[in-house]
Amino acid sequence: MDEEATLEEDEAIMSYYMDVKRIKRGRDNEAYSLETDFSEFKQTNQFTEAVSSIPGIVDAYLANKMHEAVKNDVQLQSERLRDEAQAKNADFLNKLDDNIKKIIKDQVNEQVKAQVSNNLPKIKKTVNEQLKAEVMTPSSTESKTSLAIAANIS
């Protein structure tokens, strides 16, 4: 009976060992299944987060593009307005310069006319006196014509 008892005991131990192994295998399968489920959940969660962040990314992209477009348009508009203002300023300055030249020319002409008007009677008087003096005093060595006299005066 000793041998039979040992055999039964060995079978019981073996059965117990097999049960433990089965339980362990079941737990391993459950653990593996839980790990797989958790990994899938994580991936799904990451995918959900990625998908939910797409509108924000698109909004940021569009805002950036709009900012660039507005910045470019403002730059172009500023350059165009600056060029127009410079052209108007150049035109104004040219007209102003022309007007100043005209005014100066008119003033010079008026001053010359006034000086000529003031000095003309004096010049006429001086020329007439010199002509009279030359014509009335005959020179023995040279006879002067009115042309020679006029040339000497000038």
Q: How far, in Å, CA of 2 to CA of 4, rounded?
A: 5
Q: Domains in the chain: how many in total?
A: 1
Q: What is the per-residue burial (b if ≥16 Cβ within 10 Å, else e) of 83-119?
A: eeeeeeeeeeeeeeeeeeeeeeeeeeeeeeeeeeeee
Q: Which residue range forms the structural domain that includes residue 108?
A: 2-153
DSSP secondary structure letter of residue 140: S
Low-confidence ranges of the chain (pLDDT < 50): 140-141
Q: Give the pLDDT of residue 19.
A: 72
Q: Note whether 134 and 153 are within 8 A (CB).
A: no
